Amino acid sequence: MRSSNKLMLGVLMTLGVLTAPAFAQAPAALSDNALRRQIIADGIAAYPAPCPCPYSIGPSGGRCGAKSAYSRGAVFAPRCFPEDISKAELTQKRQISYQR
């Protein structure tokens, strides 16, 4: 590899390392729908038991449906649908992200 190619590769790698934190800290730049999807995914990932949402696949291999925490109205059930998340919650999520 020529030294100019190595230099260019080094510059690009350095830029990637320096700009990665900026992209990781930019949830405010997400659209409302993208942020809603992120909140839903985070809640499902944090749910400690099988069947958080009606569309989740349960241990038996089928959809959870009425057996899901969401359908049963469990206290710690995650939000499963975009309409479960209000504009106020989106604003709050963005404010919390800015404080980090």
Predicted TM-score (pTM) of the model is: 0.66
Per-residue pLDDT of the chain (100 residues; tens, 9 = 90+): 455 444 444 444 554 544 545 445 544 478 999 999 999 999 999 999 999 999 999 999 999 999 999 999 988 899 999 999 999 999 998 887 766 5
pLDDT at 64: 97
Query: Bridge partners of 57?
Result: 63
pLDDT at 59: 94
User: Is the Cα dihedral 40, 41, 43, 44 positive or negative?
Assistant: positive
pLDDT at 29: 75
pLDDT at 95: 84
> 63 φ, ψ to 5°?
-65, 145
